[in-house]
Amino acid sequence: MERPNVLGIPEQIAFNDVPATRRLDSGLVIHALEARHAPVVSLWVWYHVGGRNEVPGTTGMSHFLEHMLFKGTPAHPKGDLDRLLARYGAQWNAFTNEDVTCYFETVPRDRYVIALELEADRMRNALIAAEEVEAERTVIVSEREGLENDPSFLLGESLQAVAFDRHPYGQGVIGSKSDIRLMTRDGLYAHYRTHYAPNNAYVVVVGDDRADTLLEQAATAFAMVGREPVVASPLSPEPPQMGEKRLVVRRAGGALPIVQLGFHTVAASDRRAAALSALAVALAGGGGGDSASGRSSRLYRALVEKELATDVDASFGLTKDPYLFTLEATMRPGVAHQAVEEALLHELARLADAPIDDAEFARVRRGLLASVAFPSDTITWRAYRLGSLLSSGAAPSIGAWYDALAGVTPADVRDAARDTFVERSRTVGHFIPEESGAA
Amino acid sequence: MIDIRRRVFEKGLKVAVVAIPGLRSVSAVLAMEAGQFFEPVGRPGVARLTAQALLRGTQVRDAAAWSDALDGLGASARLDVGSHAAVFAGQCLADDLGAFLELIAETVVTPALANEGLEFVRAQALADLEEAKKDTRSVADKTWRELAYPPGHPFRTRSIGDEDVVRTASLAEIREHHHAAIRPGGSVLVLAGGLDPDRAFALSERAFGAWAARDRPARTLAPLRLDRVQRRAVIVPDKTQSDVVLGWLGLPRTDPRFTKAQVTNMVFAADTFASRAGQVVRDQLGLAYYVFSTISGTASQGPWTVRMGVNPENVERAIAVIFAELKKIRDGEIADDDLALARDKLVGELEVGRESPGGVAAMVLDAELFRLGDDHLERYPREIRAVTKDDIVAIASELLSMDRYALAIAGPELPPAS
């Protein structure tokens, strides 16, 4: 397929990124890309376990487990990994989302083998000691309490719970405070042994060496980790929503009202995913907050410029199963929720009614493709982007995703809006700030 | 080694360029000495209002047309006001560098600065201020500044400013600040990424060549000293977590001891996992999800603060632990490995930071803005490696007092002291 090259990027440096890939006997799949502009390597290990693998009573377990994988193995006692990586000046962390748990470190090139050894070790050998579970429990409660201080999080968590009747996506990721408090060491360990195995994971590495060399080193490091029986978690598909749902969150702990909308939408592997990504850019651009970019977007012009809202956002996430297309407006003081909700719905209807014109589409397309191009110039982000496309099934490479985005037409965007923004699959949330002491 | 090419244009703008072959984008950072330090005395908020107003149209196109042009490039951009500089930072495709620089230049050199634009950004700022009143991190930061700095000091207020000033700032005042502070002298433009240096200089000259030079009197501030413990807890209702800011007055970025202070900061609390405070507060005791410290780089004594989010029940204990770790450092109880780790981490971050054009630009900007010398990035790792345990004890003893500090807590009501 001839690549559209919309951005005018010389072909030799544009998305020459089909990764070198190998599946080991253990089932572990390794993807490697070469990036030569800095003497670093970014290593990412992705496990197919997240909020989707939990049930009421164990919500937050995958995220809790993520914390415990920094608490030591027999070979690398607690603190070893942190201090080793810190000593290298590494950029390292981990995250859990609805679908996956992921660990990464970006290290100087000559420390790559050590990073591999750390990751291969904790794939099966984490201790998850009972006393460490107790110490970390309060850290995770603290993490949750920090989120609870944010009205946008509170409203979003409630909206997610209301929008899903059956699918575990409704439970979120961090878990309820009561579940976090009740989590047992044995439960965590069982979750670990069930889901952390080479045949339930894949590795992405991007860095300053030949791709086949990076891949070979990774294969060597993970060779001693054997295949395990992996039990698929039972998963309820989400039945179609039969009508609009509404919710209100009232708290004194916020000053500005918020409107959020969530529409059931498609999975990342759906052919419409690229058009939905374009739809999000058309609605809110890629900026947000005080950013100077994204101010030509539909919602910025209709809500922020019109002094209804201080900030707007639109998001289509790349997920394994159908999730939500979400919109959020943080309102100007004194504006009614209804006015903002109506303005949002009006803009969604406009996009569903007619294709956007050529000049606007050119901006949307440019922003969309730049959102692929820019992060690819940072080695850590290039590895993340490739891994997230693979984890969700959106595309087998960044170039393939770029091609999908470049192929989106104004009619595709209109059709995506028409299919998505329907009343019966809509959930509407209002955050209403209350006076101090009213809660 | 980062190969930096530099030029100073006739009107005083300094341009530093780093070519990173193989990249498709360029990171552009224009830092103007128009931050809080250079704000009109007693008018906190004017600098940020001015910066935001620059984005509301220019003398050749209105705000909508300017946004259309920026988004038409697919470029990312933002303009923020910090303690020292107003910084226009963004990323564009390499082929668009000329057009991107022209757009930035339009905003800073020939902004419209009209009433309509000012009223828009004023309303946005007032809404942000309203939101900040219920945000525990913002309340803690605001309170800490009020405890640490005297009235009239530029760092006494957050960059968003004082509500009365934001409400009353006139268009004439905004224009005056733009005239006085947004100037090529002292400004630095850093470009890093897939560029040809000669072309980058030519494009920069074309975009900013007409930027008129203006003099302004130098601003100096008398040295400050905290003379006692200043503590205040502010109740923010209906919250579950308390945010804590504990801090001291730091050092000017140009102070020869600044690198020693950075290493001290890393040993003490800079990193949640690598520093002493985080290891004890989070890793050993599980008292907080985040705990870190920063030392501000500015022309004067910026904040040197430890920040953490803690359940109200644990606030006093977490603070006590921070002080216990500080006391050990002041007493010289610093493990050799802790010092080695701090030095290694700071040096290693220089190498890893090269992975992105934005990371390279940030490193170069720090050196250029504070005139740390053309060989700064070469010297800096050696200077970090040369910091000794005695240096850290001296810095902590002099600057991180156990009985002269400011402490702000914002969140739910704290339990009674036991």
Please answer whether residues A427 and A163 qualify as being in contact, where contact means their C-beta atoms are separated by less than 8 angstroms: yes
What is residue B39's DSSP assignment? S
Residue A304 within any structural domain of the chain: yes
Q: Exposure of B390 by Cβ count < 10 A (0-12 exposed, 13-18 middle, 19+ buried)?
A: exposed
Question: Given an 8 Å threshold on Cβ–Cβ distance, is A253 in contact with B239?
Answer: yes
* 3-class secondary structure per residue, B93-135: EHHHHHHHHHHHHHHHHCECCCHHHHHHHHHHHHHHHHHHCCC
pLDDT, tens digit (0-9, with 9 covering 90-100), for B178-207: 999 999 999 999 999 999 999 999 999 999
Q: What is the mean pLDDT of residues A405-421?
A: 97
Q: Which two tokens stand for residue B36?
A: 């809080």
Claim to verify: residue B53 and residue B108 sit in the same structural domain: yes
Residue A228 within any structural domain of the chain: no
What residues 377-416 of chain B have any CB closer than 8 A to a CB of chain A?
Answer: 411
Residues near B194 by Cβ (< 8 Å), separated by ≥ 6?
Answer: A13, A377, B19, B20, B21, B22, B23, B24, B25, B26, B94, B357
Which residue in A303, A378, A381, A431 has the most chain B C-beta atoms within 10 A of its own C-beta, making it the best mutation to test that interface?
A378
Q: Which residue has the higher pLDDT, A91 or A287?
A: A91
Residues near A12 by Cβ (< 8 Å), separated by ≥ 6?
Answer: none
Domain coverage including residue A420: 245-433
Last residue of a domain, one of B162, B177, B208: B208
Question: Is B341 within 8 Å of chain A by CB?
Answer: yes
- Determine the Cα–Cα distance for residues A194 and A390; give it in Å rounded to an integer: 21
* pLDDT of residue A134 exceeding 60: yes
- Determine the Cα–Cα distance for residues A225 and A227; give it in Å rounded to an integer: 7
Last residue of a domain, one of B208, B243, B258: B208
Single-letter code of the amino acid located at A114: I
- Residue B216 confidence (pLDDT): 86
Q: Which two tokens stand for residue A65?
A: 């487990």
Residue B418 within any structural domain of the chain: no
Give the dihedral sign, CA A204/A208/A213/A218: negative
Task: Using alpha carbons, select from B130, B132, B140, B142 the residue that is nearest to residue B411.
Answer: B140
Which residue in A87, A303, A360, A385 has the most chain B C-beta atoms within 10 A of its own C-beta, making it the best mutation to test that interface?
A87
Q: What CATH code is carried by the domain that includes residue B100?
A: 3.30.830.10
Q: What is the mean pLDDT of chain B?
A: 96
Residue A137 within any structural domain of the chain: yes
Residue B214 within any structural domain of the chain: no
pLDDT, tens digit (0-9, with 9 covering 90-100), for A183-201: 999 999 999 999 999 999 9
* CA distances to A118, A165, B146 from A392, in Å: 25, 22, 48
Radius of gyration of chain A (CA): 22
What residues 245-284 of chain B have any CB closer than 8 A to a CB of chain A?
Answer: 271, 273-274, 279, 282-284
Please name the residue of chain B whose CA is at the shortest distance from the CA of residue A363.
Answer: B72
Please name the residue of chain A whose CA is at the shortest distance from the CA of residue B21.
Answer: A37
User: Which value, to the nearest 10 degrees, does the dihedral of the CA atoms of residues B398, B399, B402, B403 take?
Assistant: 90
- Determine the Cα–Cα distance for residues B38 and B331; give it in Å rounded to an integer: 38
Claim to verify: residue A296 and residue A353 sit in the same structural domain: yes
| Size (chain A), residues | 439
Question: Given an 8 Å threshold on Cβ–Cβ distance, is A370 in contact with B75?
Answer: yes
pLDDT, tens digit (0-9, with 9 covering 90-100), for A201-246: 999 999 999 999 999 999 999 999 999 998 777 788 999 999 999 9
Claim to verify: residue B188 and residue B268 sit in the same structural domain: no
Residues near A366 by Cβ (< 8 Å), separated by ≥ 6?
Answer: A6, A7, B71, B72, B73, B74
Claim to verify: residue A404 and residue A304 sit in the same structural domain: yes
Phi-psi region at B226: left, alpha or beta (left = phi > 0; alpha = psi -120 to 50): beta
Claim to verify: residue B242 and residue B133 sit in the same structural domain: no
Residues near A216 by Cβ (< 8 Å), separated by ≥ 6?
Answer: none
Claim to verify: residue A148 and residue A195 sit in the same structural domain: yes
Claim to verify: residue B271 and residue B405 sit in the same structural domain: yes
Claim to verify: residue B106 and residue B23 sit in the same structural domain: yes
- Pairing verdict, β B25-32 and A426-433: unpaired
* pLDDT of residue B362 exceeding 80: yes
Claim to verify: residue A379 and residue A313 sit in the same structural domain: yes
Claim to verify: residue A263 and residue A295 sit in the same structural domain: yes
Residue B256: pLDDT band (50, 70, 90) is: very high
- Determine the Cα–Cα distance for residues B191 and B361; give it in Å rounded to an integer: 7
Claim to verify: residue A181 and residue A42 sit in the same structural domain: yes
Claim to verify: residue A185 and residue A317 sit in the same structural domain: no
Residue A230 within any structural domain of the chain: no
- Residue A1 confidence (pLDDT): 47
* pLDDT of residue A9 exceeding 90: no
Residue A234 within any structural domain of the chain: no
Query: What are the residues facing B92 on neighbouring strands?
Result: B26
Nearest to B241 among A145, A301, A378 (CB): A145
Q: Exposure of A93 by Cβ count < 10 A (0-12 exposed, 13-18 middle, 19+ buried)?
A: middle
Claim to verify: residue A307 and residue A159 sit in the same structural domain: no
Q: What CATH code is carried by the domain that includes residue A266?
A: 3.30.830.10
Instruction: Give me the half-sphere count of Cα atoms (radius 13 Å) on the Cβ side of residue A254.
Output: 23
Q: Which of A77-81, A120-124, A355-359, B57-61 bottoms out in mean pLDDT, i.e. has the lowest? A: A77-81
* pLDDT of residue A13 exceeding 90: no
- Residue A72 confidence (pLDDT): 95
Nearest to B127 among A14, A88, A256 (CB): A256
Claim to verify: residue A199 and residue A268 sit in the same structural domain: no
Residue A174 within any structural domain of the chain: yes
Q: Which two tokens stand for residue B108?
A: 């800073």
- Determine the Cα–Cα distance for residues B133 and B162; give it in Å rounded to an integer: 12
A–B CB contacts, 8 A cutoff, strictly below: 245
Claim to verify: residue A285 and residue A347 sit in the same structural domain: yes
Claim to verify: residue B135 and residue B277 sit in the same structural domain: no
Residue B133: pLDDT band (50, 70, 90) is: very high
Domain coverage including residue B123: 5-208
Question: Given an 8 Å threshold on Cβ–Cβ distance, is B289 in contact with A139?
Answer: yes
- Residue A288 confidence (pLDDT): 64
Last residue of a domain, one of A172, A190, A222: A222
Residue B128 within any structural domain of the chain: yes
Claim to verify: residue B181 and residue B310 sit in the same structural domain: no
- The total domain count for chain B is 2
Q: What is the mean pLDDT of residues B74-93?
A: 95
- Determine the Cα–Cα distance for residues A200 and B359; give it in Å rounded to an integer: 34
Q: What is the mean pLDDT of residues B341-352?
A: 96
Question: Given an 8 Å threshold on Cβ–Cβ distance, is A290 in contact with B52?
Answer: yes
What is residue A264's DSSP assignment? E
Residue B71: pLDDT band (50, 70, 90) is: very high
- Residue A330 confidence (pLDDT): 96
Claim to verify: residue B122 and residue B156 sit in the same structural domain: yes
* pLDDT of residue A2 exceeding 60: no
* pLDDT of residue B265 exceeding 70: yes
Question: Given an 8 Å threshold on Cβ–Cβ distance, is B194 in contact with A142?
Answer: no
- Residue A230 confidence (pLDDT): 81
Claim to verify: residue B190 and residue B296 sit in the same structural domain: no
- Determine the Cα–Cα distance for residues A86 and A80; give it in Å rounded to an integer: 10
Question: Given an 8 Å threshold on Cβ–Cβ distance, is B344 in contact with A292?
Answer: no
Last residue of a domain, one of A156, A188, A222: A222
- Residue A3 confidence (pLDDT): 52
- Starting at the edge strand found earlier in the chain, the sheet holding B406-411 runs B230-235, B406-411, B242-249, B303-310, B288-295
Three-state secondary-structure class, residue B181: helix
Q: Which of A221-230, A286-295, A413-422 bottoms out in mean pLDDT, i.e. has the lowest? A: A286-295
Claim to verify: residue A184 and residue A100 sit in the same structural domain: yes
Gap from B390 CA to chain A (nearest CA, Å): 21
Q: Which two tokens stand for residue A286?
A: 């890629």
A273-284 and A358-373 helices cross at what angle (nearest 10)? 110
* pLDDT of residue B149 exceeding 60: yes
- Pairing verdict, β A29-34 and A201-207: parallel
Gap from A322 CA to chain B (nearest CA, Å): 28
Question: Given an 8 Å threshold on Cβ–Cβ distance, is A332 in contact with B127?
Answer: yes
Residue B132 within any structural domain of the chain: yes
Residue A232 within any structural domain of the chain: no
Nearest to A333 among B24, B90, B127 (CB): B127
pLDDT, tens digit (0-9, with 9 covering 90-100), for A367-392: 998 888 888 899 999 999 999 999 99
Please answer whether residues B400 and B250 qualify as being in contact, where contact means their C-beta atoms are separated by less than 8 angstroms: no
* pLDDT of residue B33 exceeding 80: yes
Reported as type and span, the H/E element at residue A101 is strand A101-108
Chain B residues with CB inside 8 Å of A436's CB?
237-238
- Pairing verdict, β B303-310 and B242-249: antiparallel
- The total domain count for chain A is 2
Provide the strand spans (E) within B157-221. 188-193
Q: Report ipTM for this prediction.
A: 0.94
Claim to verify: residue A217 and residue A255 sit in the same structural domain: no
- Residue A18 confidence (pLDDT): 86
Task: Using alpha carbons, select from A428, A416, A384 the residue that is nearest to residue A281.
Answer: A416
Angle, vertex CA B320, rays to CA B314 and CA B326, nearest 5:
135
Residue B355 within any structural domain of the chain: yes
Claim to verify: residue B165 and residue B248 sit in the same structural domain: no
What residues 116-175 of chain B have any CB closer than 8 A to a CB of chain A?
Answer: 120, 123-124, 126-128, 130-136
Q: What's the N-to-C CA distance of chain A in angstroms? A: 59
Residue B221 within any structural domain of the chain: no
Q: What is the mean pLDDT of residues A405-418?
A: 96
Residues near A382 by Cβ (< 8 Å), separated by ≥ 6?
Answer: A17, A33, A35, A42, A206, A375, A376, A398
* pLDDT of residue A439 exceeding 60: no
Q: What is the mean pLDDT of residues A321-332?
A: 97
Gap from A38 CA to chain B (nearest CA, Å): 5
